[in-house]
Structure 1
């Protein structure tokens, strides 16, 4: 996504700025006052997925939403730092550069894994809110073949172009989003369609998929001793809610709350509901 071309009519663009912190050119949106709450989107998304959650949380917090490397408007400085650990390291460097000491980090799907890894890196351990967390490695035949295919895709430019053609139509994007168990408004579908038409964004997503490994984080879950809340949607057709339940059992200070009738993108379906859950839990965690 080109900031000069695409940012003007992007959600909350008045909150946007670009920050150069090696190795990436980061796109962030920042607003509000109070303790810092960092928002991390999932694979294939961008900070736009928090477009309605940002103003709600900004009533109580300093909210910082970031595009992950290669996603949205954040430009990759290298193609070799799209793995879970390196993304968390680079995000920690961004926070240090800007003087952000997050009191809490909210992560959606794969962004929840980044948030948990970030919690293990930060000197100040932030509280973690995970929305439908993607915390299960690929299993069986998919575990053997998917990483190989993703690497081939990431290293073969014409396959990225082929993927663009497959994803370019609004009908296909709408079908993909319905497959998450969520129902988005036309505006939300159109924003994802814009992302999926952008070659750099699709390339960045594939690089993340190619380098994605959860083994280290899963082994470290018992050491995440900061309070953690897992919010799951009962209609999530992408990540089974039991994944969060299993992860929480392995963590010393984690709890799970299930929300009926919402899918994988529940923070876009019901931002007011999610904001209320986050605020209430952070308030109770602070008093504990």
Structure 2
């Protein structure tokens, strides 16, 4: 993604800055004051995913959102560092380098798994976690074998990212994918995703992330995660089964699940005010 070309109308652009912290060059959005709340988007997204949640939370907290390595406007510096553990280590190092100590982490989908792994890697663990349609389980059955294998094959083919971007960037590709998650987005939201997936580098980094992702270690750690955790679930989610959060909460000492019956995987983009209200109520009671 090119900031001069693609960032002209990027949501919350006035709060964006770029930080070189090895091995990546990070795109960060930073607004508000007080305790730090870190926002982590899901696989294949970027800071735009928080476009409406970000300013609401920034009325009460200092909110920091970032693009994951290689996605959005963060430039990937080391391709082998796109898995859960290494990505968490690099985000923790970035936070330390910037003098930021998150009091809470809010993550969507794979970003929720990252938030849980950051409990181990941050210099001081946060006091609260929020997961929105948290992707906390590996793909089941044959999909668990085929999807990572396909991602690995595509990740080593230099032409695959361009081909996928070309397919997804057409008039119906993004609409089909978003609709498949159970969410309904505005034309603005769809256009932002279309900009992302049309970029070969963004798509390539997304494939690298998928190919390196493994949640076995995190699954084993769930019973030891005693940080107060709120898992928000869109019951219409067709990307991550709502039961995933229910099963996780049952294994965690201090976690509970709240449901949005009419929302899908991108619940925070569909209903940012309602989702933000739940997040703020939870954080205000614990920070």
- Scaled to the shorter chain, the TM-score interval is over 0.9
Cα deviation, residue 148, structure 1: 1.7
Alignment match, 2:85? 85
Alignment match, 2:64? 64
Asked if 2 retains the 8 angstrom alpha-carbon contact of 1:71 and 1:205, the reply is: yes
Q: Does 1:194 align with 2:195?
A: yes
Alignment match, 2:259? 258
Alignment match, 1:76? 76
Aligned residues: 286
Asked if 2 retains the 8 angstrom alpha-carbon contact of 1:184 and 1:269, the reply is: yes
Alignment match, 1:107? 107
Q: Secondary structure at the match of 1:201?
A: helix
Asked if 2 retains the 8 angstrom alpha-carbon contact of 1:120 and 1:224, the reply is: no
Alignment match, 1:237? 238
Alignment match, 2:167? 166
Asked if 2 retains the 8 angstrom alpha-carbon contact of 1:135 and 1:243, the reply is: yes
Alignment match, 2:35? 35
Q: Secondary structure at the match of 1:170?
A: coil
Cα deviation, residue 283, structure 1: 1.7
Question: What is the distance in 1 between the residues matched to 2:276 and 2:148?
Answer: 35
Question: What is the distance in 1 between the residues matched to 2:241 and 2:139?
Answer: 13
Question: What is the distance in 2 between the residues matched to 1:87 and 1:20?
Answer: 15
Q: Which aligned segments of 4 or more residues in structure 1 are displaced greater than 2 angstroms?
A: none
RMSD (Å), alpha carbons? 0.9
Deviation per CA, 1:19-64, whole angstroms, max 9, x where unpaired? Answer: 0000000000000011100000000100100000011000000000
Structure 2 unpaired stretches of 5+: none
Question: What is the distance in 2 between the residues matched to 1:72 and 1:147?
Answer: 22
Q: Secondary structure at the match of 1:150?
A: helix
Structure 1 unpaired stretches of 5+: none
Question: What is the distance in 1 between the residues matched to 2:188 and 2:171?
Answer: 11
Cα deviation, residue 2, structure 1: 1.0
Question: What is the distance in 2 between the residues matched to 1:197 and 1:50?
Answer: 20
Question: What is the distance in 1 between the residues matched to 2:50 and 2:165?
Answer: 24
Question: What is the distance in 2 between the residues matched to 1:2 and 1:78?
Answer: 19
Asked if 2 retains the 8 angstrom alpha-carbon contact of 1:170 and 1:190, the reply is: no
Alignment match, 1:208? 209
Question: What is the distance in 2 between the residues matched to 1:147 and 1:6?
Answer: 30
Question: What is the distance in 1 between the residues matched to 2:286 and 2:29?
Answer: 26
Deviation per CA, 1:163-204, whole angstroms, max 9, x where unpaired? Answer: 122111131111111111111000000000000100100001
Asked if 1 retains the 8 angstrom alpha-carbon contact of 2:161 and 2:201, the reply is: no
Please list, as runs of the form range in 1=range in 2, the aligned pairs for 1:122-201 lying within 5 A after superposition: 122-126=122-126, 127-201=128-202
Cα deviation, residue 123, structure 1: 3.4
Q: Comparing 161-170 with 192-201, which one deviates more in the overlay? A: 161-170
Q: Secondary structure at the match of 2:102?
A: coil
Asked if 1 retains the 8 angstrom alpha-carbon contact of 2:155 and 2:161, the reply is: yes
Asked if 1 retains the 8 angstrom alpha-carbon contact of 2:6 and 2:195, the reply is: no
Question: What is the distance in 2 between the residues matched to 1:145 and 1:271?
Answer: 34
Please list, as runs of the form range in 1=range in 2, the aligned pairs for 1:42-53 lying within 5 A after superposition: 42-53=42-53
